[in-house]
Amino acid sequence: MKKKYVLITGSSRGIGRACAVAFAKNGYHVFINCKNSVEQLAETEHEILASGGGCTALPGDVSDPDVVRSIFCKIKKVCQGVDVLVNNAGISHFGLLSDLSDSEWKNLIDTNLSSAFYCCREAIPHMVSEKCGKIINISSMWGTAGASCEAAYSASKSGLHGLTKALAKELAPSGISVNAVACGVIDTDMNSRLNEEEKNMLCEEIPAGRFGTCEEVARTVLALAESPAYLTAQIIGIDGGFL
């Protein structure tokens, strides 16, 4: 069986880390990446290698197109290209839009949306040559519904939904599928700002009555990676029935 390769951005912790572990357990060689949490990235790499999986850590800021090009040059030293791309790098910002600075807006859009564009642009040529491939964008239900005091974050995820659907139509003739996973409230560091009372109030709004887990998201992402190419241009919600 042909070895499969996956790049997961933002994979030192949370959803990205859970995805890396899940893919490695299912026989993929995993390229993991992060911008800041380099020690945690090394720990993830060590854990996967210790369990007999294949893993290569490629730290770097994927909101920088030159860094993305460098990452893919390093990937090509290991294989011809990735079979699966998981665009997971993301940050959030909570506050009034009127208080948001130009640099904060740019950083959020660059990290959450532009990074996906840069990585897709580098990954696509190999996928086209192979007439197959999977691109999975990690998004949010707020990209559909919008969240008060998270206008920039919601806008970035809405843009990711648009990119997903448009690129899926562009690449479908080449056998490449492009989908997004729209996460609801997941138990990650991104929600660590919430106190216990706020968490309990939020859980009351979720039909499932709880936050989702990173492992549940990872299982969904892996399922999309293994799905038929005809499943494309979809925004898959994993939100406990919230929307």
pLDDT in tens, 125-164: 999 999 999 999 999 999 999 999 999 999 999 999 999 9
Per-residue pLDDT, 190 = 79
- Which tens digits make up the pLDDT trace of 65-116? 999 999 999 999 999 999 999 999 999 999 999 999 999 999 999 999 999 9
pLDDT above 90: residue 189? no
Tell how strand 133-140 and strand 5-8 pair up: unpaired
When the pLDDT of each residue in the chain is averaged and rounded to a whole number, the result is 97
Q: Which of 5, 57, 2 has its CA nearest to residue 35?
A: 57
Q: What is the DSSP string of 73-118?
A: HHHTTTSS--SEEEE-------S-GGG--HHHHHHHHIIIIIHHHH
pLDDT of residue 191 exceeding 90: no
Average pLDDT over residues 45-74: 98
Position 3 scores a pLDDT of: 92
Give the confidence band of 222 by pLDDT, cuts at 50, 70, 90. very high
Q: H-type helices in the chain, by residue range? A: 14-25, 38-50, 65-75, 102-109, 115-130, 142-145, 151-171, 196-205, 214-225
CA distance 44 to 6: 15
| pLDDT value at 1 more than 90 | no
| pLDDT number for residue 217 | 99
5-238 folds as Rossmann fold (3.40.50)
Domain positions in the chain are 5-238
Which residue matches tokens 């709880």?
210
Determine the Cα–Cα distance for residues 34 and 37; give it in Å rounded to an integer.
6
Residue 2's pLDDT band (cuts 50, 70, 90)? confident
In this predicted structure, the answer to whether residue 173 has a pLDDT above a threshold of 80 is yes
Query: Residue 198: is its pLDDT beyond 80?
Result: yes
* pLDDT recorded at residue 193: 79
Catalytically active residues, by annotation: 153
What is the C-alpha separation between 113 and 106, in angstroms, rounded?
10
